[in-house]
Chain A
Amino acid sequence: MLVNLEKILLGLGALAVIALGVLITSNVIARALFASQVPDSVTMVRELMVAAILLPLAAATAARAHVSVAFVTDRFPERARSVLIVAGSAIGMLALAPLIYSGGREFLSVVEKGSFFYGDLNLPKWPGRLLFLIGMIATFLRLAELTWRDGRTVLAGGVVSDEQHHAADLMVEEDLR
């Protein structure tokens, strides 16, 4: 289920990147040819950025794409390295928990107040906050799954590796598991 959720979120993130390119280019063309611009394009780009960056974060986490320093621990025994990888995922959950809590509070606050961006379209503020929350929760769930799965492997005497999967592997469902 988590894999399917990540695939959907990654797809939505990819659509957001395409939309970013099209929207900004349209604005440049509109400015050059018609001396006008797409209304509230800056606000729309900012909201799309949240989708483009945070929705694929769970998939990036599943692909173990987060950068870490391996120079010191490469000299450790494999089992010690495995324990540290599990600890890294658990610390990731600790790092994201306050962001989810504060993101949730912020989302509820803008919904209750009906906050919107000043502009031609008076776009509401809640979609960006909701996307932030969804991206963070999905990443937290993936980290919890990694901690649980890798932790069990280590306890069973096995070893785990955080070798990065190539991003293209994300196209293959098996690699997300």
Chain B
Amino acid sequence: MKNIIVILLLSMVCFSCTDLEEMNINPNLPTEAHPQLLLTSVEWEVFRDYGGTSPLYAQKMLVQTDGENSNQYYKWDRGSFDPYSVLRNVSKMIQEAERIENPSYVALGKFFRSYYFYNLTLNFGDVPYTAALKGEVEKEYAPAYDDQEVVFKGILKELAEAEAILASQNTIIAGDIIYGGNVLSWRKLINAFRLKVLMTLSPKSESGEIDFSEFNSIFTSSPLMESEAESGQLVFLDQQNNRYPDFNSSGFSSGMYIDSTFIQRLQVRKDPRLFIYTTQTKSAKEAGKAIDDFSAYQGGDPAAPYAEVNEKATQGNVSKVNDRYHRDPVNEPYKLLGYSEQQLILAEAAVRGWVNADPEMLYKEGVKASFKFYEVYSEEYSSYVDAEAALKYLSEPMNDFSKAMNKEEKIELIVMQKYLQSFFQMQWTSFYDHHRTGTPSFRRPAGVEIPYRWIYPQSEYNFNADNVTSAITKQFGAGNDNIHQMTWWIK
């Protein structure tokens, strides 16, 4: 009896003699993955990255009436390094692709890297690039910053490499939710993006720092998008977690109105996209005005104190964002880079003499493509933006390319068309176009200057202090990390 009990007691202690190490293997999650699984999540992030409403306030499309919007009044301070977080998954995708020796994913990885570093360097100036994203593999936890010039050149190089790799591939890329794995479509998008990067650097066209002959060689010898259907865009689905990001968003129902400068720009050009972007004012609607009555739309002054705009809105005289942006579960796709934008970039290049092409034809194709996009995706309004409407629109004196007298006027027309199609699309493209070409102009209170950039994130101040300090000192002088400093590309 006694012994039995002692044995029993002792055996209880060794109750479960399983291997401790084995127990700590996570049964819920994998440690290795096919790059296609990463591609899907990266694409989902990249193509949904429209910048939120911030660029819409800064680009004079929205005004806020229940608080001072720092973008609207150009009072922003710090920017964010969040893109590096998506780039982590891009790096892992490249790693997994190298493991299974599938170069297509490496090529797409280079494209996504270029896309994010392009945005990052425009936002801040110098950013960590060559030393970046090596936290896991090389234990580089506080990467050094690269000159903006180095970043831009690196982007162009990576994009060229991506095109070169894909040119030699012909298998379907699995996990691709944008083009269904079509390699040629990807090459077209990547090449179009190369054009966009080079066009962004137009202020450098005289200095010789950048080789602009690449633009023409892409135009003449690389595949480019040939129709609106080939745009690089993400189509939303009416399924949980796949819906349009602003679907059901409360923000649209109160406090968010349309900027008067945006409405006026659409009105004076007789631009029917006005009806698709915005609602009639309450008073116009009550007066029974037709949807296509341009006088039924009004905006709020982005330069006035917001309480004043609120007053005007209270009177029912300010338009809001069209309901479809928050009521339609799929609304419209987000375009990372569309055929329309590509044609407008080419039109500008033609005006600048970078390529030998007819700018007017390219301009018209760009505008028609934008109309086509809304004809397809905003069915309720398609009759306002069909092919006929596009032709009529292009013949309006203000939109008629043949009436533009000189290079400046032509570029203004072209860049304005990019702006007019960037409502809830294209991120900060028009903001940088403004700094590059002066078009479009941005209304603001007296004495307020338009910033060039954002202050580096507090996290860099806290966790990469030495490197960010030297980047600041080198670019702007000690302690001069402020939003009104110009960076290399615009100088």
- The answer to whether A and B interact is no
